[in-house]
Amino acid sequence: MSEMQDIIIQSAEKIFKRHTTKELVDELEEGKFDEKTWKLLVDNGLTTIGVPESLGGVGGDLQDAFQVIKLSGKYTLPVPLAETILANLMLSRIEVQVDTTLRSIHFNESDGLNLESDKEQFLMNGQLNNVTWGRFLEELIVVTKYNHKDYVVKVSPQQSKIEKRQNLAGEPMDDLEFRNVQINPENITEINRESFIKNLMDLGGVTKVSQMCGASEEILNLCLFLTNERKQFGRPLNRLQIIQQYLATLAGDTVNITTNFDYVVDALEKHQMTYEVANSKIITNTAIRRIAETAHQIHGAVGVTHEHKLHQLTRRLWSWREEFGNEQFWTQLFAEKLMDEPNELSLWKKINNQKEELVNT
């Protein structure tokens, strides 16, 4: 970790730790947006981290951006920082200027969204489902077609009919219906669809992995604290063999997914991507099941009470693992890439070659 990255992480963690509480997360789940925390993040330049200054960002690289996102997962930040950073990173990929607008990016092959032209103006029509933070966004980035070409379009969710919904974590995940919404031509950018979607799924997948890694680290901290403080049969819980086994399993899974996270971010930074994102998302999604179950086993009934923070973390793990591709999506993609390689190696040798490359790095 560089000295500059260390400063960025320390500053971000100081803000998150001071201004994110269980009570604020509760308020989010009740439908209230934390304007104060969001303004603080904007004022400190965290929403445009990883975007070059020439495009309106504060600079930094992908390592900086994803480490901040990881911290947002650790502290269950009740604002869409991860989503806004991802949207800004994707805009910078197509050389579009960014700013401090509260925005997110949404893509689903099944969405029915149409861009139409009416003389001198463009109109947006269609339905978007499960838009994260939809009701609070100032701007949403979507992918659509017009005249047999593909475009990225900036549109305001506030101009749509919003059906409020939530994911398991209590975070907004709304359905939006657009009816003849006028679009400024300046907010339309032509793209190479295949390249843009691949970049979005890669960066989106790593965004969710980073959030889950942060949350898992905090879950481990909660379990270590509880088992050290609480006593049974006259000694701390962490002296009991079964609890030690649970803690070892939890620590092993947490180290496993965070190590894979560091590896995949490094690969993204060096543009050396083959199977890294798929591998990391599969490993993380699989481990999350054990992490959540083990943590609740350690905490017992107290972990599911409203007063305790554990359920806020584990519910987010269950929600985030389904976003930007579940295990089935990434496993199928991994297998297709593996089988499409133009070499003569058998499947078993290909898998072992990937394993050796991972170990050697």
Quick one: angle between helices 62-74 and 241-269, nearest 10? 150
Cα gap 206→216, rounded to integer Å: 15
What confidence tens digit (pLDDT) does each residue in 137-146 have?
999 999 998 8
pTM, 2 dp: 0.91
Dist. CA 71–CA 124, nearest whole Å: 36
Asked whether the beta carbons of 316 and 280 are under 8 A apart, the reply is: no
**Domain assignments of the chain as residue spans, ordered by start:** 3-100, 105-191, 194-360
**Distance separating alpha carbons of residues 141 and 112, to the nearest angstrom:** 15
Percent of the chain with pLDDT over 90: 63
List, in sequence order, the alpha helices (H) in the chain.
Answer: 3-19, 22-29, 35-43, 62-74, 81-93, 193-229, 241-269, 276-299, 310-320, 327-340, 347-360
**Residue with the two structure tokens 């609890």:** 243
Sheet of 149-155, strand order:
103-106, 139-146, 149-155, 188-190
The DSSP result for 202-241, as a single string, is HHHHHHHHHHHHHHHHHHHHHHHHHHHH-EETTEEGGGSH
CB 234 within 8 A of CB 189: no
Query: Does the domain at residues 194-360 carry the CATH identifier 3.40.50.2000?
Result: no
Specify the higher pLDDT residue, 121 or 53: 53
Q: Do domains 3-100 and 194-360 have the same CATH topology?
A: no
What does the alpha-carbon distance between residue 352 and residue 350 come to, in Å, rounded to a whole number? 5
**pLDDT classification of 338: cutoffs 50, 70, 90:** confident
**Domain 105-191, CATH:** 2.40.110.10
Mean local confidence (pLDDT), 328-339: 84
Predicted pLDDT at 300: 86
Q: Which CATH class is domain 3-100?
A: mainly alpha
- For range 30-34, the mean pLDDT: 91
Q: Do the Cβ atoms of 86 and 107 come closer than 8 Å?
A: no
- Please report which confidence band the pLDDT of residue 119 belongs to, taking 50, 70 and 90 as the band edges: confident
Residue with tokens 């579940």: 326
Distance CA 175, CA 157 (A): 10
**Rg of the chain in Å (alpha carbons):** 21
Compute the average pLDDT of residues 252-281: 88
pLDDT at 352: 65
Write down the pLDDT at residue 111: 74
Least confident of 108-112, 176-180, 279-283, 322-326: 108-112
Q: How far apart are the C-alpha atoms of 182 and 316, rounded to whole Å?
A: 35
Helix (H), strand (E) counts: the chain? 11, 10
d(Cα 189, Cα 220) in Å, to the nearest integer?
A: 44
pLDDT digits (tens, 9 = 90+) for 70-116: 999 999 999 999 999 999 999 999 999 999 999 999 998 777 788 88
For 348, other C-beta atoms within 10 Å of its C-beta total 8
At residue 86, the pLDDT reads 97
Which range among 3-12, 193-202, 267-276 has the greatest average pLDDT?
193-202
Are 112 and 127 contacting, i.e. CB atoms less than 8 angstroms apart?
yes
